């Protein structure tokens, strides 16, 4: 696939479907990336927005706080079948994402993954400043907010004072796996992230204990079986328990007390705690950007899908208007109309006319198909 991908250093252990790197525009450190469109959110609607813009000859950069594209489809229900995508009687949710990625290949969007958009400002010249949690900045002609139900955030450990240890002793993501080598580790969780990191770090850790609240795991059965083999061979320990309180020594974290299902507490010495309790969406910063909201959704018109600020559009689950239905096909329609409005906003002198992909030579050229 030819899309360009810029990930933060928060690499996931699992190989991603979207690989690829090519032709990332050179920008000096600290220099804003100039672009016609920034799309916030690489869920199905953000991805299809790339396609509709691409047909009109408009390029886009996509930003997502997740490490992979696909939004709710990829994060919440990748294996589930979807039955209401037009002309696809049944389509797996991850399959839909893969198909959308394939469809937008000709337009070479640049992905900025693992980055949350935390700054947004209209500039005096009418363009937009967009900044991410990893320091990437954009100077965009227009912005499309396709943020769905919000940016996915890790569920936290739920022990008072835990924020003080985040990033140093307590981790919800692995930024640099080598920093855990030779350490006493306690890993929490029963999903794929917890099991993948357990298996990855076990051979390099000084010790590793896995803590999960129940005997059943959500992770791939093969990973669970491998972990159980390691436990049987005495290479690691596993507990059915919940985190209870930190073990502190003059304020320094030395380990964690866990509470087992039978009520017993166990003290686990640890250098580092890794917590993988899954992700939950948070509308977060977007609600503070001064755009008109209704029940945490962005109000848009149904002609352009423009928000209360000219040049800023919203498609998919994040928007609201009379009759709004949070369905993927609604978001696809919104993206098509928003693309024409974006073109008009960027190039008001340009005459607009509808062309069919079936017959338009210019669209064939943009799609890279023979005329």
Ligand X SMILES: Cc1cc2nc3c(=O)[nH]c(=O)nc-3n(C[C@H](O)[C@H](O)[C@H](O)COP(=O)(O)OP(=O)(O)OC[C@H]3O[C@@H](n4cnc5c(N)ncnc54)[C@H](O)[C@@H]3O)c2cc1C
Residues that bind ligand X (CB under 6 A): 40-46, 63-66, 71-73, 76-77, 82, 84, 116-117, 146-152, 284-286, 316-317, 326-329, 331
- Which letter does DSSP use for residue 85 in this model? B
Nearer to ligand X, 308 or 330 (CB): 330
Residue showing the smallest CB distance to ligand X in the complex: 148
Nearer to ligand X, 84 or 163 (CB): 84
Place of tokens 């190989």: 15
Which of 89, 90, 88, 70 minimizes the C-alpha distance to 80?
A: 90
Contact 130, 112 (CB under 8 A): no
Which of 325, 316, 286, 324 minimizes the C-alpha distance to 47?
A: 316
Smallest separation (angstroms) from ligand X to the CB of 232: 35
Contact 123, 254 (CB under 8 A): no
Nearer to ligand X, 36 or 317 (CB): 317
Smallest separation (angstroms) from ligand X to the CB of 79: 11
Helix, strand, coil distribution of the chain in percent, nearest 5: 25, 30, 45
Nearer to ligand X, 119 or 200 (CB): 119
Nearer to ligand X, 81 or 182 (CB): 81
Q: Structure tokens of 97?
A: 């994402």
Smallest separation (angstroms) from ligand X to the CB of 60: 14
Smallest separation (angstroms) from ligand X to the CB of 190: 19
The order of strands in the sheet holding 170-171 is: 170-171, 272-275, 184-188, 207-212, 237-249, 252-260, 265-269
Smallest separation (angstroms) from ligand X to the CB of 6: 13
């Amino acid at each position: 696939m030819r899309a360009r991908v810029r990930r933060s250093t928060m690499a996931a252990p699992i190989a991603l479907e979207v690989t690829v790197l090519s032709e990332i525009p050179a920008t000096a450190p600290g220099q804003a990336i100039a672009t016609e469109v920034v799309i916030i959110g690489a869920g199905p609607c953000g991805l299809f927005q790339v396609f509709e813009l691409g047909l009109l000859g408009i390029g886009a950069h996509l930003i997502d706080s997740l490490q992979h594209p696909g939004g709710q489809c990829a994060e919440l229900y990748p294996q589930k079948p979807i039955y209401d995508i037009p002309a696809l009687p049944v389509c797996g949710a991850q399959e839909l994402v893969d198909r959308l990625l394939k469809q937008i290949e000709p337009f070479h969007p640049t992905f900025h993954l693992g980055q949350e958009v935390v700054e947004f400002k209209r500039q005096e010249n009418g363009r937009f400043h967009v900044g991410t949690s990893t320091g990437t900045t954009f100077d965009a002609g227009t912005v499309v907010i396709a943020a769905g139900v919000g940016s996915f955030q890790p569920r936290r450990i739920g022990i008072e004072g835990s924020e003080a240890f985040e990033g140093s002793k307590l981790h919800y993501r692995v930024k640099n796996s080598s920093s855990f080598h030779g350490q006493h580790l306690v890993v929490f969780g029963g999903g794929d992230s917890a099991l993948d990191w357990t298996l990855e770090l076990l051979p390099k850790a000084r010790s590793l204990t896995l803590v999960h609240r129940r005997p059943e795991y959500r992770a791939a059965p093969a990973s669970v079986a491998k972990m159980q083999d390691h436990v049987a061979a005495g290479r690691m320990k596993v507990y059915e328990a919940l985190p209870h309180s930190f073990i502190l020594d003059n304020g320094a974290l030395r380990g964690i007390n866990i509470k087992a299902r039978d009520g017993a507490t166990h003290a686990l010495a640890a250098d580092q705690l890794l917590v993988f309790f899954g992700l939950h969406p948070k509308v977060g910063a977007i609600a503070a950007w001064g755009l008109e909201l209704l029940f945490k959704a962005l109000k848009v018109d149904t002609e352009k899908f423009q928000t209360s600020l000219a040049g800023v559009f919203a498609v998919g689950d994040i928007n609201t208007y009379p009759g709004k239905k949070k369905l993927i096909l609604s978001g696809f329609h919104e993206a098509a109309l928003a693309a024409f409005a974006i073109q008009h906003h960027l190039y008001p002198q340009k005459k607009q006319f509808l062309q069919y992909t079936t017959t338009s030579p210019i669209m064939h050229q943009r799609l890279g198909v023979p005329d």
